[in-house]
Amino acid sequence: MRRNIHRGWLLAVLLLALAWPAAAEPPKEKPPQTRTVSGQVMDQDDNPLPDAVVYLKNTKTLAIKSYISDAKGNYHFSSLSPNVDYELYAEYKDHRSPTRTLSNFDSRTEVVFNLRINLKK
């Protein structure tokens, strides 16, 4: 009977020793996730507006980034924190688009906001 007890203990220690290195490894950290917002600045007739200035405001720090749209009206902001709300709008020749909000509750990592500016005001 003592022999069976020793075998039982030996088996338990062996199983614990095999499982220990896997349990001792620290969990792998996920790289911090960021998100991007991009889109196109267009007039009321869906014509692209090159050289429009797109503003991105971090509502937590109040920092503002800007981007000048390319020849096709495209803009792009990257490396944005997923834990912050952002406000986004465009200006072109004294006209302004409505403000769009990118919420921290929006879990998408790539967001597309097309901005429209009515030039016929």
- Domains, the chain, in order of start with CATH, read 35-117 (2.60.40.1120)
pLDDT at 120: 87
CB neighbour burial string for 92-121, b if at least 16 within 10 angstroms, e if fewer: beebbbeebebeeeeeeeebebbbbbeeee
pTM recorded for the entire structure: 0.73
In a structure prediction context, what are the per-residue pLDDT tens digits for the chain, which is 121 residues long? 555 556 666 666 656 566 655 555 666 666 668 999 999 999 999 999 999 999 999 999 999 999 999 999 999 999 999 999 999 999 999 999 999 999 999 999 999 999 999 998 6
Q: Which of 71, 62, 68 is nearest to 91 (CA)?
A: 68
pLDDT at 3: 55
Residue linked to tokens 């790539």: 110
Q: Which of 121, 116, 110 is nearest to 54 (CA)?
A: 116
